[in-house]
Amino acid sequence: MQTDHIKISKFLSLILRHKPETIGIALDAQGWADVEELLVKAAENGRTIERRTLDEVVRTNDKKRFVISKDGRRIRAAQGHSLDLDLRFEQQAPPALLYHGTAERNIDAILARGLNKMARHHVHLSADRDTAHKVGIRYGKPVILLVDTAKMARQGFVFYLSANGVWLTDHVPAEYLAVEQ
């Protein structure tokens, strides 16, 4: 992805996941923003983005972080919000095993308390090891955790699958975790 696309993606993540007020917009209850208002307010705040560039950033983002509505008039982040929103995810049965990438320095705390959503709506899990590794390496020496989601599901834990393929749940107790060897 081009450097300017990366900058735009980071800007959109800030606005659509965490701080829409930074440029003076509001998200609706499901996290949607009006595309035209977003572009106007971004420009008013020194960040000019052409509509075709926005569409290209959404289409080419390697993590599929953003979704444009079918009518093309609204945009939202796929998941990862710290805002109080109802993203209307549908409950889904997870695969038997999912992965979570983290930094080595976090392992002791995670194995003591499990995975917590912290400031986000959900704990994020990956369907493949490579994605979890990429997440973990962003924070330091990566460690991959194996999550026994089959056992969690049998015991009543709820899972959702976001539009960009990230598995979500409220909490993963330590008893369902194992460090990949």
Taking only the tens place, the pLDDT of each residue in 88-136 is: 778 899 999 999 999 999 999 999 999 998 867 789 999 999 999 998 9
* Number of domain units in the chain: 2
Domain contains 166: yes
Residue 158, token pair as written in the block: 């709820």
Domain-embedded: residue 83: no
Query: Last residue of a domain, which of 48, 77, 106?
Result: 77
Q: Domain containing 103: what range? A: 97-179
Pair 107, 40 in one domain? no
72/117 same-domain check: no
What residue spans of 19-115 are helical by DSSP H?
A: 35-44, 51-60, 107-113
Provide the strand spans (E) within 56-158: 66-68, 74-77, 97-103, 115-116, 123-125, 142-148
Whether 13 and 73 map to the same domain: the answer is yes
Does 55 fall in a domain? yes
pLDDT in tens, 61-85: 877 889 999 999 999 998 777 777 6
